[in-house]
Amino acid sequence: VFLFTESHVAKESFLEVINNLLTTGMVPALYTDDEKDNIVNTIRDEVIKARIADSHENCCNFFVQKCRNNLHIVLCMSPGERLQKRCRNFPGLLNNTVIDWFVKWPDHALLGVAS
């Protein structure tokens, strides 16, 4: 799980990276060409076992899909105008997530659950 809270947003550009992860499953320019070649060579056997044509592009797509299937991102943000603006600027925050709203529980509810 990758936990990303509102306090981690030192620059709005951080949200661009999160948006890319949510929408495409990858971050542009994250890996050098040598690193990409290493990933392709490492995952090639899995691609062949999955009966997918062995090509550089298919290996890269397989890797991205494997990452998407296994990476879980938890975003913790307060509701309000700032969140609305961020959702407009970075649509992946809204379109590719499940939103859970948490509000303060009354004391009697907390006691009821605890006992």
Q: Got the DSSP string for 26-79? A: S-TT-S-HHHHHHHHHHHHHHHHHTT----HHHHHHHHHHHHHHH--EEEE---
Instruction: Quick: pLDDT tens for 70-80.
Output: 988 899 998 88
pTM, entire model: 0.71
Confidence of residue 28 (pLDDT cuts 50, 70, 90): confident
Instruction: Quick: pLDDT tens for 38-57.
Output: 999 999 999 999 999 999 99
